[in-house]
Each structure stands twice: as C-alpha cells, then as structure tokens.
Structure 1
Amino acid sequence: MTTLISFLGKGRYEKDGYRNAKYRFDEAFVREVPFFGLALNDYLKPDRLILVGTSGSMWDVFFEREASQSDDSLLELIEAVESDTVDAALLDGHAGRLSERLGHPVDCVLIDYARDEAGQAKLLGQLAASLTEGEHIAIDVTHSFRHLPMLALIAARFLSRVRNVLIEDIYYGAYDMKDAASDEVPVLRLKGMLKMLDWVDALSSYDKDGDYSVFSGLLAEDGMPEGLARILESAAFQERVNHLEGAKQKLSASLQAIATHHGPLGSLFRPELEARVAWVRKPERGQRELALAEAYLARRDYLRTTIFLLEGLITREIDRRKGISKNRDEREEARKALGQDNKQFRKLEWLRNALAHGQRSQDNDTAKLLNDEDALREALKRFIRVLA
C-alpha cells in the first residue's frame, strides 16, 4: 500500500484566494493548484492520504472544493484556521467528503508546532502510530512550516526503522525556482538526502565494528558495478576470519575500483572510506597487523586487539630474522622466543587466552584487567606502546 503524507503549513492568501502555482512533475504531467499536495495526489495516485497540520494550518484549502456554497462547516473551518483553533472534530467531516472525491481514505493528523524536543518527538510518534509495517511512503514538505522539512527528513529515517516502511521519495514544489517564461514550478525529489544519511550511518557502523561490507550495497546503488562493489563483502569476511593477506588483496582491488568510481555519493565519501581502511596500504604485513590492533582497540574489541597485536609482533620478529612470515613452524618458533625473552609479551599472551576462552586467568594482574575496562584499555595501550 502506498501512502502520501502531506504537511500543511500556512497558505499565502491573496485578494482572489490562496495563491495558485503551476507544478511541472514531468514532460506529460502539469497541475495548477493552490496546494501542492492536491497535485501530488493526482500524480502518485496513492492508496491513502495523510494530512499533517497544526491548529492554524491551511486545512480550508484542501477542503474548499468539497464544500457547497451553503456549507456552514467550511466557514467554521476558515474561521478556526484564522484564529488558530482547528481541532480534530472539525476536520472529520471534511476529510470524509475529500475521501469520497479522491477515491481513497484521507486521514488528518493534528500536531502542535513542534517548537521543542518534546513536540518534535511527539510528532514522530504520531506519524508512526498512523502507519503500518510494510507501507510505501511518499512525503510532501512543500507547504510545511520551514522547520518541518528537517524534521520530515528525520521522520522518514525514523519511520523506515520503527515501522519498516519504504520511503519512495520526498517531494518539494520549489516555487522560488519558478520559470519566468513558462510560469511553471519545478518539482524536486529529495530522496537523495536519505541516501546521504545511509552513507553517514555506514560510516558510523564501520567505526563501531570495522565491517566495511556496509559500503558494498551503497556503492552498487551509486552506480558501481555490483561485482566490484561486492568485493568489499568478501574482503570483510577475510578480515573477520583473520586471513589478512586475503583481505588485503581483495580490499586493494576494491580501493582501486573506488578510486575510479565517479558516482556522486561514492565520490563524496571516498576520502573517508579510504582513510578508514588505510591499514591495507602499509607496506609490511607486521605493520598491517599492528595497525589493525590499534583500530580494534579504538572500537573496544579487546579480543581482536590482542590477536592482531600478538600476530603483528610475531611477524615483525620473523622479519627481523629474515624468515618467512607465512611459515607455521617459524611463527611458532618466533612466538616461543618472544615469550622467553619478554615478560610483557607473555602477559599479552595470557590476556589473549583469557579473552578468547572466557576463563579467569591464573595471573592475578590479568584477572584484574578483566574486571575493569578502563584498566584493560590502558594496559593494551601500554602493550602497544612498549611492544610495538
């Protein structure tokens, strides 16, 4: 089911009534109306219309065409709009008549002016209560109060999360962009702003858990060939199973694709994405492992911090010996040598074992660290500072 949500603000009243505008939707569809939502309803043909407005919004514009010349209820509504006293009971009958003309339900949601945080939160709750899971939603912000388009953007994201609705688009009839020659007003589609928020969310998600596969779908939507975009998912999996060389190979291929990608959002966020996977550009394996240890410490993933820190130290020791870092026997030999020569390395191993197995360590210092996150973080920083 598709639902159109149209926000009503104050209308601009002229001597002959509310000001009309000629809205151009596409090459074949133009409508001249006093309220953009009426034209958008004709264009989209939704299954339901939700009108959202305050006690002083231009409700009378929507309902004027349905009233008879002797309709006292319209006069009462006009007076209530002028005095900022519209209530839900006054809207019900008019909404019913408009429903009959449009051929689908019309619901009115009366809100306050959302001046503060409480009012803004209440508005989101009212919208959520008006929708059911799985609906397709279009939002019109053309005539809303000037602060409400910002809130509508947040509402779109909120509703997609809490009601699992699909936001088809956000529409705005840009009167200030009216073409002087044709007298037509362009219709802007603002869903791209939601896509920008998706990218911001992806950055936040990556900073939290280091899973760069969250960018895969976004890059595909931005025009990158899906096969190239999905390499990020494979690279993320390789890192998750601690196969760093496999992750490096695939991530390097992804970065090459990202560097030549010219989609609008991918280009905008490219520097941030490249900065977040800078570890892959480190020339030596040990350097890459140690860089990941610091990255996972920043994410409070203490087990992975200890794993990559230990592996980085072992790799560096093998490099010092001019050995082969991929050789299992050489890695075990280097690990034992480091444990014999360096008490701090042994302490780090004990900490890794305790984190991996979820058991209390026989070492008292290690056991204390597992009861105090601040102390654990400082200890890991010290291990990195002293050992790496």
Structure 2
Amino acid sequence: MTTLISFLGGGKRGGSYQTTDYKFSHGTVYENERYFGMVLTKEVKPDRLILLGTSASMWDVFFVAGLEDHIEAWSTLSDAVQSDSVTIEQLQPFEQFLTDELGLQVTCQLIDYAKESAGQIDILKKLDELLVKDEHVVMDVTHGFRHLPLIALVAARYLQVTKNVHIEHIYYGLYSNELKFSEVLELRGLLDMLNWVSALETFDKDGDYAVFAPLLVNVGLDQQSADELERASYLERILNASAASAKLKQVMPKLDELHKTDSPLFSLFYTPLAKRLSWYKKTSLGLQEQDLAEKYFKRKDYVRAVIYAMEGLISRETALNEDDVQSFKARKEAYEYLVDSREDFKIFKEFRNAMVHGTASGKDRIRQIMKDPERLHASLKDRFKQLFKDLS
C-alpha cells in the first residue's frame, strides 16, 4: 500500500493557495493547481492520503465545490480556521467528503505547531500510529511551516527504523517568481545521506560493514560485489581475517571504480569508508590481525580485540619460523612457544579465557581487573602496546 503524507499551511480569511503550474523533472506539468498535495494524488495515485495540519491550517481550502450538503459545517470550519480552534470533530465530515471525491482513503490529522521538542515528538508519534509496517510512503513538504520539512525528514528516518517503512519520495514544490511556475524537487537524497551517516555510525560502533551493502547497490554497485562485501564482514567478525582480506581485495577495486563514476553521494562517503577498511592492505596476516585488534579495542569489543591480538602474534611467530601461516600445526606450535616464552602473552591468554568462557580467571589480579571496565580498558591498552611493539 502506498500512502501520501501532505502538510497543510496556515489559513487566512478569504485566502487560498495561489494557482501555479507544477513541473516534474521527467517533464510532466500540472497546470493551474493550488495545492500540491492534490497534484500528487494524480501523479502518485496513492491508496491513502494523510493530511497533516494545525488548528489554524487551511483546511477549508478543499471544500469550496460540491458542498451543498455541508454548507453549515464548512462555515463553522472556516471560522475555526481563523480563530485557530479547528477540532478533529469538525474535520470528520470533510474527511469523508474528500474520501468520496478522490476515491481513496483520506485521513485528516491535527498536529501540534511543533515549536518545542514535545510537539515535534508528538508528530512522530502520530505518524507512527497512522502507518503500518512495510508501508510505502510519499511525503509532500511543500506547504506548512518552514521547520516542518526538518521534522518530516526525521520522521522519515524514524519510520524507516521502527516500522521498516519505505520512503519512496520526498517532494517539495518550489515556486519561482521568475519562471512563473513551481519546480518539483525530489528531496529523497537527503534521507539517503542520513542513511549513509547512520551506516558509518553503526560500523564505527560494531565493525559490521555489511550495513553498507544495500546502500552501495543503490549507488550502482553490482549485487554480487555487495554480497561479497557482506561475506567479508561476516568472515572478519568470526575472526577469519585471511578470508575476509581475500574478499575485500576482490570488492575494493569495484568501489574504486564506482568512486570514479558520476556518483555524488558515494563520492561523499568513499574516503571515510575506504579508510575504515584499509586494514586488508597490510602486507602480512599478522599486521592485518594487529590492525583489526586495535580497531576492535577502540570499539570496546574486547573479545575480538584480544583474540585478534593473540592471533596477530601467532601469525608473526609462524612467519618468522618460515612456516605457512595458514597451517594449523605451525600455528599451534607458535602458540605453545609464545605461551612458554612470553609472560605477557600468557597473561593475555588469561584475559581471553575469562572473556570467552565467561568464568573467573584463576589469577586474582585478572579477576580484579575484569570487574572494572575502565581498569580493563587501561590494562588491555598497556598490554596491546607492549605486545605489538615488536611488530611496528
């Protein structure tokens, strides 16, 4: 189901929206129209229309013709618009009138002026109540107060997350005095930018770059490469840096190519994304694992940080012995050597066991450190520095 959400502007006695021609980017022009929301009912052909306005919005603008049976109610509504006192009960007859006239379900919803956060939040709550999960939505932010498009953008992002609502378009009809017509602007790209910012924030929090896959498809990456990126993230997070690196070496050249094409949105986010995934360029598995250990440590994902730190040292020791770093036997021998020869590595092992198994360490000092997150962070930071000093 597709729902059109349209905001109404303020009313004034004897006033109405001026007529204008609305021109879409694809060339379609709707001539001599007053209210852009009505234009969109023709262009989008929604299943449902939600009209949002305050107690002083121009509700009476819709009900000029065909009101033989509603003259008294219309007069009362018009007076209420002027006195900033429109009620939901006064809107109900015209809600049905518009439903019949347009041939689609119409909901008239009163909203707060949204001058303060409570009123702004109330608009989000109302939209949340009106929309259903997985619904497709088109937003019109042409009319209404100038701050409402900002609220609409936040609402769009909120509904994407809470109800998996699909925002198809965010339209704004920009009137030009010079051209004497209104150019229809598509503002959906602003929401796309917010989605990228949210993805970067998510990645910085937990290191899962699979979140970028659908966004990259939207800007031109082929689905197979997007799937490979998701696979790389999965492999990295189950501690298989070698296989994850191999996948990234396949995908990153595709992202480099995409960056060179005319994709303004991706060009904005290419550099921060490429920087975050640069660990795969390290010249050895040990250095890759060291880099990942440091990244996960900064995210306070201590389990992965500790394991990658130890695996980085094992990879280094295996390479120094001129053994195959992928050999289970060679890595086991390197591990046993490090446990026997390096006290700091042995203590790191205690941290790992305590975290992985969820049980208290046999060493009292480790138990005390594990009780305090700040102390754990400081202790691991010092040990990371000591462990990696030979690798730098």
Alignment TM-score > 0.5, same fold:
yes
- Once residues 272 and 31 of structure 1 are traced to their aligned partners in structure 2, the CA distance between those partners, rounded to angstroms, is 45
Q: Distance in 2 between matches of 1:224 and 1:11?
A: 47
Aligned twin of 2:227: 230
Q: Say which of 188, 193, 215 aligns to 1:191.
A: 188
Aligned to 2:278: 278
Does the 8 Å contact 1:29/1:43 carry over to 2? no
Where do residues 84-163 of structure 1 align in structure 2 (5 Å cutoff)? 84-163=84-163
Q: How far apart are the structure 2 equivalents of 1:236 and 1:62?
A: 53
> Separation in 2 of the partners of 1:85 and 1:376?
60
2:331 is matched with which residue?
331
Supply the distance in 1 between the matched residues of 2:343 and 2:70 (Cα, whole angstroms): 94
Deviations 1:104-129 (A, max 9, x none): 22211111101111111111111111
**How far off its partner does 1:280 sit?**
1.3
- Listed as ranges, the matches of 1:213-228 within 5 Å are 213-228=210-225
Letter in 2 for 1:234: R
CA–CA distance in structure 2, aligned partners of residues 118 and 366 of structure 1 = 48
| Whole-angstrom distance in 1 between the partners of 2:159 and 2:327 | 53
Counterpart CA distance in 2 for 1:277 and 1:61 is: 55
119-128 vs 222-231, which deviates more? 222-231
For 2:37, the equivalent position in structure 1 comes to 37
- For residues 304-353 of structure 1, give each alpha carbon's deviation from its aligned partner in whole angstroms, at most 9, with x where no partner exists: 11111011122223344454433333333332332233221110011111
Distance 1:368 1:110 in 2: 58
The aligned amino acid for 1:313 is L
CA contact (8 A) 2:16 2:58 kept: no
Unaligned runs of 5+ residues in structure 2 are: none
SS in 2 for 1:273: helix
Distance 2:292 2:12 in 1: 59
SS in structure 1 at match of 2:209: coil
Partner residue, 1:313: 313
Q: Which stretch shows the higher mean deviation, 156-165 or 374-383?
A: 156-165
| In structure 2, C-alpha distance between the alignment counterparts of 1:358 and 1:205, rounded to whole Å | 26
Q: Which amino acid aligns with 1:100?
A: D
Q: Which moved more, 1:145-154 or 1:236-245?
A: 236-245
Matched residue type, 2:19: N
Contact 1:77 1:86 survives alignment (8 Å): yes
Q: Kindly tell me: are residues 23 and 10 of structure 1, through their superposed partners in 2, closer, same or farther at Cα, counting changes over 3 Å?
A: same
Alpha-carbon separation, structure 2, partners of 1:143 and 1:16: 14
Of the structure 1 ranges 17-26 and 308-317, higher mean CA displacement relative to structure 2 is found in 17-26
Q: CA deviation at 1:275?
A: 1.2
RMSD, aligned α-carbons: 2.2
- Give the 3-state SS of the residue equivalent to 1:60 in structure 2: helix
Letter in 2 for 1:223: G
* 1:63 partner amino acid: F
Corresponding position of 1:83? 83
SS in 2 for 1:230: helix
- Given residue 21 of structure 1, which amino acid in structure 2 is its aligned partner? T
Q: Which of 174, 192, 200 is 1:203 aligned to?
A: 200
Structure 1 residue identity aligned to 2:218:
E
Taking the aligned partners of 2:199 and 2:186, their CA distance within structure 1 comes to 23
Aligned partner (choices 248, 253, 256) of residue 253 of structure 2 = 256
Structure-2 change in CA distance of 1:12 and 1:195 (3 Å): farther
Aligned mates of 2:73, 2:238 — CA distance in 1: 69
Q: Does the CA contact (< 8 Å) of 1:11 and 1:18 recur in 2?
A: no
Query: How far apart, CA to CA, are the structure 1 residues paired with 2:118 and 2:28?
Result: 43
CA contact (8 A) 2:21 2:29 kept: no
Partner of 1:299: 299
Instruction: Give the drift of 1:276.
Output: 0.8
Instruction: Specify the alignment match of 1:346 in structure 2.
Output: 346
TM-score of the aligned structures, taking structure 1 as reference length? 0.92
Question: Partner letter of residue 245 of structure 1?
Answer: S
Q: Is the 8 A contact 1:296 1:302 kept in 2?
A: yes
- 1:56-82: per-residue Cα shift (whole Å, max 9, x none)? 111121222343499233333222222
AA aligned to 2:351 is L
SS at match of 2:65: helix
Report the CA distance between 1:143 and its aligned residue: 0.3
What is the one-letter code of the residue matched to 1:61? V
C-alpha contact (below 8 Å) 1:172/1:188 kept by paired residues? yes
1:37-76 alignment runs, 5 A limit: 37-68=37-68, 71-76=71-76
What code does the residue aligned with 1:18 have?
Answer: Y
Q: CA deviation at 1:292?
A: 0.5
Flag the 1:88–1:99 CA change in 2: closer, same or farther, 3 A. Answer: same
Number of matched pairs: 384
| Equivalent residue, structure 2, for 1:23 | 22
Give the aligned residue type for 2:124. L
Question: Following TM superposition, by how much is the alpha carbon of 1:228 offset from its aligned partner in structure 2, in angstroms?
Answer: 2.1
Aligned-partner Cα distance in 1 for 2:12–2:185: 20
